[in-house]
Amino acid sequence: MRIPRWRVAAFAALPFLLATSACNSVAGTFPLGKLSVRVIDASNAPVRGVAADLYKLTPSGKLYWRASSTGTDGIAVFGASDGGVVEGDYVIHVSFLDLHELATGETNDRAVTVKEGDDTVITFHAVTKTPGI
């Protein structure tokens, strides 16, 4: 028996639709917490334009969950328009798009657990990248 092409496409899109639905319509449905990233330099000045990605940890691995970037205040907020992020375990990854990099001793891919009502800020320290490296 041959499966119609539209059914194959519908089933292939299902995981994406479920993830998108979970990300975009969480208010009032799931317990939420607030999660932000703050990036500062050696003089504690904010670093803007840093890409911050949030991955939700699931039994089958990491699921790309949210994206944000730091503003002039050096802060990136995940899920601001939805009131936060769903309770759970996450990993935060930052990427520098300009002349900065993580400071010596700083680690990327930080694990964090968010509980209902939390207001968690994860701080990353950056330094100016040495030219030519």
Distance CA 40, CA 71 (A): 12
Count other Cβ atoms within 10 Å, centred on residue 29: 10
Strands of the sheet with 61-69, listed across from one edge: 61-69, 50-58, 88-96, 110-114
Is residue 114, in this structure, part of any structural domain at all? yes
Q: Is position 133 within any domain?
A: no
How many of the other CB atoms lie within 10 Å of CB of 130?
Answer: 8
pLDDT tens column, 79-91: 999 999 999 999 9
Domains in the chain, number = 1
Structure confidence at residue 97 (pLDDT): 80
CATH number of the domain encompassing residue 15? 2.60.40.10
The ranges of the chain with pLDDT < 50 are: 6, 8-11, 13-14, 16-18, 20, 22, 24-26
- Per-residue model confidence as pLDDT tens digits over 11-23: 454 454 445 454 5
Which range marks the domain in which residue 26 is found? Answer: 5-128
